[in-house]
Amino acid sequence: MSAANRRRLLIISNPAARNGKGHRLNRLLDALREQGTTVDHQPTSGPGDARRIAAEAPLDAVDAVISAGGDGTLNEVVNGLVERDDTPPPVGLLPLGTANVVARECGLPLDDPAALARIIATAPATPVYVGSANGHAFLQMAGVGFDARVVENVNLGLKRRVGPLAYVVQSLAEAFRHRPTTYRVDVDGQTFEAASVVVANGRHYGGPYVCAREARLTKPTLFACLLAGNRRWDVIRYGWGLLSGRLPKFHDVKIVEGRQFTVESRQAEESHGPVQADGEILARLPLRVSLLDRTLPVLAAPA
């Protein structure tokens, strides 16, 4: 790469997401420098910091903004970029989180620093569509019901120590104290009922697993995964279906394509229940989901 074409990178890292992976971040930074990029590394100091840094990144000094962390850190960076008045620089990802769902969606190599660095240093930006959940931008998905309660209640200390296993532990706890809840879901004027709802912008969910097979970040549409079963056994069955790849084929799972979604609880005690987006609690019910009217350039693996 010539000096004239050298990509200037702003790396925004979340120290809390590293979970002993500091050596991996250092390897990735070294690999990026070996690709001829220039690196400005700015660790965050608290919630909202990644969003602010991305929103204030100077276009005359930055060719791409890179999120080093998990899906939550990336979500903050994305929110900072889409709120800019100018055309935002491309966003890239150094996956250091628990599930790294968006990295998988973008086809990024998780265990090959050199290959990942080549993509970030040389890949053209791909325009992707961005979802909005009650005004909060998200890339991958927004969820209501069982998965949102798991995200809201997961023990963060346990998550840092054991990674994805913390979600398994919390899922079992939520299944044990499961309480039936029904949501009214409106999709482009059609009304449905479901016990849990995931509005997907991409096909992956919770890591390598697939929720909506047809969803893609490059498609100008969203897909609602509507899970109708409301018993404790249904929660366990859906978990098995996700892990086995059979979930979309279940008779009581409906995948509905659309552009405008609203979700409301039928139960008063759940009327302001949690909404998770990209693995973080970002909103409360009632929920309104749509696509933003602008795309975001993302450094992804070539198709």
Please give the backbone phi and psi of residue 146, each rounded to the nearest 5 degrees, phi first: -55, -50
Give residue 231's Cα distance to chain centre.
27
What structural domains does the chain harbor?
Answer: 3-123 (3.40.50.10330), 136-295 (2.60.200.40)
Q: How does pLDDT run across 12-28, given as a tens digit for each residue?
A: 998 865 455 678 999 99
Q: Give 105's contacts (C-beta < 8 A, 6+ positions apart).
A: 139, 140, 202, 203, 204, 217
% of the chain with per-residue pLDDT over 90: 79
Q: What is the pLDDT of residue 17?
A: 54
Question: Does residue 277 contact residue 283 with C-beta atoms inside 8 Å?
Answer: yes
What is the bridge-based pairing of β-strands 204-205 and 209-210?
Answer: antiparallel
Crossing angle of helices 71-82/49-56, nearest 10°?
40
Q: What is the pLDDT of residue 16?
A: 66
Q: What is the pLDDT of residue 18?
A: 47
What is the bridge-based pairing of β-strands 287-299 and 141-144?
Answer: unpaired
Q: How does pLDDT run across 148-198, given as a tens digit for each residue?
A: 999 898 888 888 788 777 787 888 888 888 788 999 999 999 999 999 999
How many Å apart are CA 141 and CA 45, to the nearest integer?
26
Question: Does residue 154 contact residue 170 with C-beta atoms inside 8 Å?
Answer: yes
* DSSP-assigned letters across all residues of 156-202: HHHHHHHTTHHHHHHHHHHHHT-----EEEEETTEEEEESEEEEESS
Nearest C-alpha neighbor of 226 from the set 263, 259, 273:
263
**3-state class (DSSP) for residue 4:** helix
% of the chain with per-residue pLDDT over 70: 96
Phi-psi category of residue 134: left, alpha or beta, with phi > 0 → left and psi -120 to 50 → alpha: left
> 0.85 exceeded by the pTM?
yes
